[in-house]
Amino acid sequence: MEKVFLYLYPVKEFASSEARALLDDSFCNECNIKHPFLVLNEAIEKRYREKGYQVVFALYPNKEIFGIIPQLGDKVIFTDVSFEQAINTKGEKDFTPKYPSEKFLLEQLGAVEELIVGGYHYSDCVWKVAEKAQQKGISTLVDLDMTDLFFSLYRKEDYFDLEEYDPIRYKEYFLAKASKYGEEFAERRFNTMYNSETYGFNTNSQLKK
């Protein structure tokens, strides 16, 4: 049994859609902003590899890893659908996306005791895989810092911690940010967006790292 950090679909198209300007080195230099992938790679190292987690990347079979530098010992697994089956790359009017099979991905991990899931996208594929893992009896947590939310969170120096993800810290950050619309609204919004136990806001579901 092992601990696994699973990062879903690190492909150029997803990264570019989330943070096109940030991927420009000259933009980062001019604005004195740390390049996102330098920080992301360091966070994966400190949060997971150094803490004994097997790092696994899930890819579409016709795509390559973008932005993340795999290390010796990391693993790559593949989806059962192509990128073109999952994403409407041709702008087809009646396109119906085909989601990768969560079961197929999890089977490739083998025996897992603890699973942390990150990648694209926190409220869609990441959540779907995490839910399926939890249903299989695997202790599962979504690291929201390491999803598509990363590109806005990593620059928050008073929030982002390279070495650890804390669901409670994220909740406090979210509520403080949303409280400008009223505390009751912030709470309702939070509870609507993060009602799955895989997000770790139910204290009984949090993993102990």
Tens digit of each residue's pLDDT (9 = 90 or more) over 96-138: 999 999 999 999 999 999 999 999 999 999 999 999 999 999 9
Contact 100, 171 (CB under 8 A): no
Contact 8, 55 (CB under 8 A): no
State the average pLDDT for the chain: 91
pLDDT tier, 89 (very low <50, low <70, confident <90, very high otherwise): confident
Please state the rounded mean pLDDT for residues 69-84: 96
Strand partners, 4: 54, 115
Percentage of the chain exceeding pLDDT 90: 77
Q: In this structure, what DSSP letter does residue 209 have?
A: -
Token readout for 105 is 């991905």
Residue 208, pLDDT score = 42
Catalogue all structural domains in the chain, each as residue range(s) with its CATH number: 2-164 (3.40.50)
Which phi-psi region, left, alpha or beta, contains residue 134 (left: φ > 0; alpha: ψ -120 to 50)? alpha
Helix (H) or strand (E) holding 85: helix 83-86
Q: Is the pLDDT of residue 83 over 70?
A: yes
142 — phi, psi (to 5°)?
Answer: -90, 125
C-alpha distances (whole Å) from 157 to each of 60, 94, 146, 187 are 33, 43, 15, 24
